[in-house]
Amino acid sequence: MEEIKKIGTAELKYDGKTYPLEVMEGTEAERGIDIRALRKDSRLIAFDPGYGNTGSCRSAITFVDGENGILRYRGYAIEDLATNCTFIEVAYLLVHGALPTQNQLSKFSRLLNRHSLIHEDMRNFFRTYPEHAHPMAILSAMVVSLSSFYPELDASSDEELDLMVGRLLSKIRTLAALSYKQSVGEPHVYPTSKLTYVENFLNMMFYTPVANYEIDPVQVRALNKLLILHADHEQNCSTSAVRLVGSSGANLYAAIAAGICALWGPLHGGANQAVIEMLEYIHKEGEGVEKMVERAKDKNDPFRLMGFGHRVYKTYDPRARIAKNACEEVLNKLGIKDPLLDIAVELEEKALNDSYFKDRNLYPNVDYYTGITLRAMGIPMNMFTVIFTIGRLPGWIAHWLELRDDPDNRIGRPRQIYSGPNHRDYVPIEQRG
Ligand code: SDX
């Protein structure tokens, strides 16, 4: 990780005193004030609910320029990676910091193939889950349970680290597909070394002994692209959860399970499911696009345009553009005319021409079109955030590794502004009114 430059000093003037604060600059000219000594010097803390103005770390993994709609993984533009790479190449890039040579990629693929099975005893867990358990609940439980079945978690050597990371990247697919098979009461399907990473996942999801499942290269390409789009996004909610849990020294599987739980929320990774629920509602209830746009603007109405808006992007999310193209490709190839896509395009057009959305820089984000593609591929709605999880996993792993090796790393422990009662004397229960 390149050194962060100190480029000057800001001054905080308070209560007759002046506190110098160093200004630092990253490799993409992002600037921040270093407040690590603020409370010690001034007794003041910074107050920033949601951390919209607060940098939690230095990171060399992903760069997002929200004003200009730029997203790069390790310096490579998302458009180049989505067009030219497989998901496993990008996973390697995020975890190791460079695109793999052919030899490195072959070795990485062999490692993932070798560790795609789960311990046979883990299958029993699936059989004891309630029938309609959400796959995200199952996935987070299974991932943290990996630490019991594969307890080699110290990972001091490169080989041990590659093994721990490879196991997780590979088994997440098997666990995800098993949670789906269990939910539909179909027999579990084993991974095979004859298929690529995404082919294996689709085969484990849709193959059954009585229906010959044909792997469609267009869908494989589209899913590779969607997983690449989801692979990392700097300090988003779930990645920050992984870092916070990892900062206490918790093992990789525990930190990733926390990330899965954070991603599940409808404001975050659960939005792709919420988008389809919104589009289906509009389609079924026929409330009309205009009405929904008005409802999304109404502060008294809890309805929000799901898949719209972003904490960082104040222009079109570059991933949404790529996801929209992938969606059109898959629907055309499958010959599907999905009314939800028409509604989504109309809704986008209305919102982008509405001052409420324009004034607040609200544009489609990565979740807006992905659900329509996954639906067309036969992936059920409650699996959409699971797909997001498979995509985001290499990013989470890269951040956990970066945090582990960061000399600035301290256990995450934010401060607060206390707003509760001042000291009160204790009153025995018989004297309480
Ligand atoms: C992801 O961080 C990441 O990088 C996340 C992610 C990743 O790759 O990890 O990109 C993935 O989580 C994408 C976001 C998926 N979520 C949704 O699509 C849910 C719908 N979007 C909103 O809930 C919202 O836009 C958030 C949660 C995404 C962002 O919330 P912020 O940054 O806290 O923004 P805000 O709530 O302060 O909104 C600013 C204004 C408010 O209005 P005013 O108070 O200024 O009048 O914009 C309004 C909001 O009410 N607003 C919306 C809106 N999003 C924001 N109004 C209607 N519909 C929306 N979707």
- The confidence score (pLDDT) of residue 403 equals 96
d(CA 181, CA 185): 6
Q: Is 323 in the pocket of ligand 1 (CB under 6 A)?
A: no
**367 assigned to active site:** yes
Q: What pTM was estimated for this model as a whole? A: 0.95
Looking at 305-423, list the stretches that DSSP marks H as alpha helix, in order from N- to C-terminal side. 318-334, 339-352, 355-359, 367-376, 384-404
Q: What average pLDDT does this structure show over 41-47?
A: 97
CATH number at residue 372: 1.10.230.10
Domain check: are 87 and 216 in the same one? yes
Instruction: Give Cα 114 to chain centroid, integer Å.
Output: 26
Ligand 1 lined by 235 (C-beta under 6 Å):
no
Residue 310 known to be catalytic: yes
| Number of domains the chain is built from | 3
Please compute the mean of the pLDDT values over residues 27-52 and round it to a whole number: 96
Domain of residue 359 covers: 271-376
Q: Is residue 71 part of a domain?
A: no
Tell me, in angstroms, the distance from the centre of ligand 1 to residue 308's CA.
7
Are residue 221 and residue 236 in the same domain, yes or no? Answer: yes
- Integer Cα distance of 386 and 136 in angstroms: 6
Per-residue pLDDT tens digits for 315-348: 999 999 999 999 999 999 999 999 999 999 999 9
Residue 370 lies in a domain: yes
Whether residue 367 is found in the same domain as residue 290: yes
Residue type for position 254: A
245 and 306 fall within a common domain = no
253 and 124 within one domain = yes
Q: Note the maximum CA span of the chain.
A: 80
Looking at residue 67, what is its pLDDT?
96
Which whole-number Å values give the CA distances from 204 to 98, 129, 132, 190, 385, in the listed order? Answer: 30, 19, 20, 6, 17
177 in a structural domain: yes
Would the pLDDT of 252 be above 90?
Answer: yes
Which residue matches tokens 């000057």?
Answer: 8
275 with 255, same domain: the answer is no
Q: Does ligand 1 have an atom closer than 6 angstroms to the CB of 272?
A: no
Distance CA 161, CA 396 (A): 15
Q: What are phi and psi of 359, to 5 degrees?
A: -65, -30
Beta strands 70-73 and 76-77 are antiparallel
207 and 276 co-located in one domain: no
Do 156 and 235 belong together in one domain?
yes
Q: Are residues 91 and 137 in the same domain?
A: yes
Q: Does residue 231 sit in the same domain as residue 94?
A: yes
Among the listed residues 310, 317, 338, 399, the single catalytic one is: 310
Q: Which is the closest atom of ligand 1 to the Cα of 50?
A: 33
Q: How far is C-alpha 23 from the geometric centre of its chain's CA atoms?
A: 30
Q: Whose CA is nearest to atom 26 of ligand 1?
A: 310
Q: What is the mean pLDDT of residues 366-372?
A: 95
Q: Work out the end-to-end distance of the chain between its first and last CA atoms, rounded to an integer number of angstroms.
A: 61
CATH of the domain at 195: 1.10.580.10
**C-alpha angle 136/81/200, rounded to 5°?**
45
Q: Are residues 282 and 356 in the same domain?
A: yes
| 170 within a domain of the structure (yes/no) | yes
- CATH for 18: 2.20.28.60
Answer yes or no: is 127 within a domain. yes
Say yes or no: CB of residue 305 within 6 Å of ligand 1.
yes
Select the more confidently predicted residue: 156 or 99.
Answer: 99
- One domain for residues 24 and 146: no
Average pLDDT over residues 270-280: 94
Q: What is the pLDDT of residues 295-306, one digit of tens each?
A: 999 999 999 999
